[in-house]
Chains A and B, each alone.
Chain A
Amino acid sequence: MSQYILEICYLIGSVTFIMGLKMMGNAKTARKGNLIGAAGMTIAILGTIFLFDKEVSGIIYGLIFGAIALGTIIGWSTAKRVQMTKMPELVSMFNGMGGACAALISLIELNHHYHTGEAAQTGMMIAIVAGLIIGTVSFSGSIIAYLKLNGTMNKPVRLPSYNVINTIVMIGMFAFGAYFVYTGGNMMLAYLMFFAAAVYGILFTVPIGGADMPVVISLLNSFTGLAAAFGGFLYDNKVMLTGGILVGSAGTLLTLVMCKAMNRPLSNVIFGAFGGGGESSGGPDVKGSIKDMTVSDASILLNYSKKVVIVPGYGLAVAQAQHVIHELETLLEERGVEVKYAIHPVAGRMPGHMNVLLAESNVDYGKLVEMDEINPELEHTDVVLVVGANDVVNPAAKTDPSSPIYGMPILEVDKAKNIIVNKRSMSAGYAGIENLLFYDPKTSMLFGDAKKALTQLVAELKTL
Chain B
Amino acid sequence: MENILSFIGENKEIIYFVVLSIFVGVEVIGGVPTVLHTPLMSGANAIHGVVIVGAIYVMLNVDPTDYLALTLGFLAVLLGTLNVVGGFVVTDRMLEMFKKK
Which residues of chain A have a CB within 8 Å of any CB of chain B? 13, 17-18, 20-22, 24-27, 30-31, 33-35, 37-38, 41, 44-45, 48-49, 52, 54, 56-57, 59-60, 63-64, 66-68, 70-72, 74-76, 78-80, 82, 84, 87-88, 90-91, 93-95, 97-98, 100-102, 104-105, 107-109, 111-112, 115, 122-123, 214, 217-218, 221, 224-225, 227-229, 231-251, 253-254, 257-258, 261, 343, 345-346, 350-353, 355-356, 359-360, 362, 364-365, 368, 370
Contact = CB atoms under 8 A, between A and B. Distances in A.
Contacts of B74: 63, 66-67
Contacts of B49: 41, 94, 98
A112 B66 CA distance: 9
Nearest to B90: A79
Nearest to B92: A34
Interface string B56-76: 111111111010111011111
B91 A34 contact: yes
Most interface-central of B11, B69, B91, B98 (chain A CB within 10 A): B91
A231 B81 contact: no
Contacts of A31: 92, 95-96, 98-99
A106 to B, nearest CB: 9
A102 B54 contact: yes
A401 B100 CA distance: 41
A401 B63 CA distance: 65
Contacts of B31: 25
Interface of B: 3, 7, 11, 14, 17-18, 21-26, 28-64, 66, 68-70, 72-101
Contacts of B59: 60, 63-64
A364 B45 contact: no
Given A101-B52, A225-B44, A245 B36 contact: no
B41 A54 contact: no
A64 B56 contact: yes
B86 A78 contact: yes
B34 A94 contact: no
17 contacts: A25-B32, A34-B92, A45-B84, A52-B57, A66-B74, A71-B79, A93-B86, A108-B76, A109-B58, A218-B41, A221-B41, A224-B51, A241-B21, A246-B25, A249-B25, A253-B25, A254-B29
B99 to A, nearest CB: 7
Contacts of A346: 34
Contact of B36 (A25, A37, A368): A25
Contact of A250 (B26, B70, B76, B98): B26
A250 B28 contact: yes
B16 to A, nearest CB: 11
A26 B29 CA distance: 10
Given A48-B56, A233-B14, A248-B25, A68 B81 contact: yes
Contacts of B90: 79, 82, 87, 90-91, 94
Contacts of B58: 105, 108-109
Contacts of A236: 14
Which of B22, B32, B47 is the most central at the interface, judged by chain A CB atoms within 10 Å of its CB?
Answer: B47
Contacts of A122: 3, 7
B14 A94 contact: no
A78 B100 CA distance: 26
B51 to A, nearest CB: 4
Nearest to B18: A245
Given A21-B43, A25-B40, A75 B25 contact: no
B94 A87 contact: yes
Nearest to A352: B38
Nearest to B32: A25
B51 A101 contact: yes
Contacts of A44: 50, 53
B44 A251 contact: yes
B36 A246 contact: no
Contacts of A59: 64, 70
B71 to A, nearest CB: 9
Contacts of B92: 31, 34-35, 38
A95 B42 CA distance: 9
Contacts of A105: 51, 54-55, 58, 76
Contacts of B78: 67-68, 70-71
A261 B34 contact: yes
Max chain A C-beta neighbours (<10 A), residue from B44, B80, B93: B44
B47 A356 contact: no
B41 A232 contact: no
Nearest to A357: B97
Contacts of A97: 79-80, 82-83, 86
A93 B87 CA distance: 10
A68 B40 CA distance: 25
A338 B61 CA distance: 65
Nearest to B84: A41
Given A20-B47, A33-B43, A25 B29 contact: yes
A234 B54 contact: yes
B76 A24 contact: no
A403 to B, nearest CB: 23
